[in-house]
Amino acid sequence: MHIHILGICGTFMGGIAAIARESGHTVTGCDQDVYPPMSTQLESQGIQLIPGYSPEQIQLQPDIFVIGNVVTRGNPLMEEILNRNLPYISGPQWLSENILRNRWVLAVAGTHGKTTTSSMLTWILEYTGLNPGFLIGGIPENFGISARIGNSSPFFVIEADEYDTAFFDKRSKFVHYHPRTVILNNLEFDHADIFADLPAIERQFHHFVRIVPNNGLIVANGKDQNLKQVLQQGCWTPVEAFGIENGWHTKLQDNQAIDIYCHGMHQGRLQWDLLGGHNHMNALAALIAARHAGVPVKAAIEALAQFKNVKRRMEKRGTVNGITVYDDFAHHPTAIQTTINGLRMHVGTKKIIAILEPRSNTMKMGVWKDFLANSLQEADQVFCFTRDAQWAKMALMPLTEKADCFDDMNQLVQAIRGIAKPGDHILIMSNGGFGGIHEKILSTLKK
């Protein structure tokens, strides 16, 4: 089968491309904005990538067009597909019908931590010889790819996004996956471009809960009140809670060691390099889900000790003249605060320079304007790229002299160069490519 993917450079659609090609399909695709890591992954797999959405692409004559949720009515290629009544399908539905059927799907959902937790869970299954398939919204460093089919294994780990499926299917993506094991990490309001309020998101999460079989398992954050409300709407599946004393929980020994407990019983000690309490929660969720798939806890802890994190999750991009530059995907106030706090625990009193691009649709709309300044408090200096979020200039005023806003990328880079000193830590946060700012900063620091 020849499939042509519209919006192929998104992490999800790029993952579908990789899996489809591994399955023996001919895969081509197109997209408007192309940047690493997905663009380089597609190139390395020999997948033809066409810039833009020209209607002439129908001349490729694929068997079906797979439509990413970035595509809207008015897209010239989509309009031509509709006008000619050509076959098309959403990415999640194609995945469900062609890959996930008859697999033991382990789905990781939540506002925060989906990518990291999915990567941890996948690595545990890999380390213990279960050879899982997976599709993750990032690139786990233990694998170097975001997706694979894993034909020899019944297990398939998927990052279960609550964002809508396509312009013609407004349900959340995760309702297509029919999982047997589900992780619910947390739940906050997000995606203001498609959800009116928190109850609207809770409704989608409950649709997800409703399709988990009673011989499955739901692994839920026991601290999260919004998840409790979702489960109280009706749940037909056993639930194991983490993050609470009467469930699975951790006790910190030092910055690199945590003891793991289940209902007061010590399960083992995890030694690792990951920063932040949020990663302790991610680890617990992955351990419980892996246990449901048959992995002993001791073996899962051994696996996590060798987990290398995910690209763009507190990824160290380089050190120049004693100044360390990190890249992180944080784009929600909770994630921003958690990321900075994790780095603070690691570097102590050393200077943290936080650089933020408010790029998500929710950020651009100014939904988080009353929360942004507080989320950045732990940073010593804050730089914000406000070209597409002018509201941020006013929102960051409570930070007074430690916050600066720029609409010009070159001016921003030069301002960072002027303030950074040996021993400082520069944390760059964006859910996009941020104009290649990471390399620009590293390059200018070398000068």
Q: What is the pLDDT of residues 180-207, one digit of tens each?
A: 999 999 999 887 778 889 999 999 999 9
Please spell the DSSP secondary structure of 72-108, one letter per residue.
Answer: -TT-HHHHHHHHTT--EEEHHHHHIIIIITTSEEEEE
User: In the predicted model, what is the mean pLDDT of the chain?
Assistant: 91
On whether residue 166 sits in a domain, the answer given is yes
143-172: pLDDT as tens digits: 988 899 998 899 999 999 998 999 999 999
Q: What is the dihedral of CA 392, 114, 312, 366, to 10 degrees?
A: -10
Domain shared by 171 and 229, yes or no:
yes
Q: Are strands 352-356 and 64-67 parallel, antiparallel or unpaired?
A: unpaired
Place of tokens 């690691």: 346
On whether residue 184 sits in a domain, the answer given is yes
Mean pLDDT, to the nearest integer, of 334-344?
Answer: 88
| Residue 312 pLDDT exceeds 80 | no
| Residue 97 pLDDT exceeds 90 | yes
Domain shared by 82 and 107, yes or no:
no
Domain shared by 232 and 129, yes or no:
yes
Domain shared by 264 and 117, yes or no:
yes
pLDDT higher at 34 or 400? 400
* The residue type at 186: N
Reported confidence tier of residue 37, pLDDT bands at 50, 70, 90: low
Q: Are strands 323-328 and 315-320 parallel, antiparallel or unpaired?
A: antiparallel
Mean pLDDT, to the nearest integer, of 78-92?
Answer: 98
Mean pLDDT, to the nearest integer, of 97-123?
Answer: 95
Token couple for 398: 């409570």
Question: Considering 256, 285, 304, which residue would you say is the last residue of a domain?
Answer: 304
245-303: pLDDT as tens digits: 889 999 888 767 899 999 889 999 998 878 777 889 999 999 999 999 999 999 999 99
Domain shared by 238 and 369, yes or no:
no
pLDDT at 36: 65
Domain shared by 285 and 369, yes or no:
no
On whether residue 434 sits in a domain, the answer given is yes
Percent of the chain at pLDDT above 90? 66
Reported confidence tier of residue 334, pLDDT bands at 50, 70, 90: confident
On whether residue 97 sits in a domain, the answer given is no
Domain shared by 241 and 109, yes or no:
yes
pLDDT at 366: 81
Q: What is the CATH number of the domain that holds 173?
A: 3.40.1190.10
Query: Residue 57 region, left (φ>0) first, then alpha (ψ -120 to 50), else beta?
Result: alpha
C-alpha distance from residue 359 to each of 162, 257, 275, 376 (Å) = 18, 35, 24, 16
Q: What is the CATH number of the domain that holds 79?
A: 3.40.50.720
| Residue 430 pLDDT exceeds 80 | yes
CB 141 within 8 A of CB 122: no
On whether residue 310 sits in a domain, the answer given is no
pLDDT at 278: 83
| Residue 11 pLDDT exceeds 80 | yes
Reported confidence tier of residue 236, pLDDT bands at 50, 70, 90: very high
Domain shared by 113 and 193, yes or no:
yes
Q: Model-level pTM? A: 0.83
Place of tokens 């950074």: 420
pLDDT at 255: 64
On whether residue 77 sits in a domain, the answer given is yes
Domain shared by 31 and 108, yes or no:
no
Question: Considering 251, 279, 304, which residue would you say is the last residue of a domain?
Answer: 304
Reported confidence tier of residue 35, pLDDT bands at 50, 70, 90: low
CA separation for the pair 103, 445 (Å, rounded): 49
Give me the domain span that covers residue 283: 102-304
Please spell the DSSP secondary structure of 116-154, one letter per residue.
Answer: HHHHHHHHHHHHTT---EEE-SS-BTTTSSSEE--TT-S
On whether residue 309 sits in a domain, the answer given is no
| Residue 330 pLDDT exceeds 90 | no
Tell me which residue of 440, 431, 435, 438 sits closest to 358, measured CA to CA: 431
Question: Considering 32, 58, 91, which residue would you say is the last residue of a domain?
Answer: 91
Reported confidence tier of residue 38, pLDDT bands at 50, 70, 90: low
Burial class for 254, CB neighbours closer than 10 Å (0-12, 13-18, 19+):
exposed
Q: What is the CATH number of the domain that holds 337?
A: 3.90.190.20
Domain shared by 129 and 60, yes or no:
no
C-alpha distance from residue 289 to each of 87, 213, 264 (Å) = 37, 15, 19
Mean pLDDT, to the nearest integer, of 119-138?
Answer: 96
Domain shared by 284 and 327, yes or no:
no
Reported confidence tier of residue 2, pLDDT bands at 50, 70, 90: very high
| Diameter over CA atoms, the chain | 63
On whether residue 296 sits in a domain, the answer given is yes
CA separation for the pair 307, 330 (Å, rounded): 20
Count how many domains the chain has: 3
Domain shared by 337 and 423, yes or no:
yes
Q: What are phi and psi of 384, to 5 degrees?
A: -125, 130
| Residue 390 pLDDT exceeds 70 | yes
How many C-alpha atoms does 3 have within 13 Å on its Cβ side? 27
pLDDT at 365: 81
Mean pLDDT, to the nearest integer, of 76-82?
Answer: 98
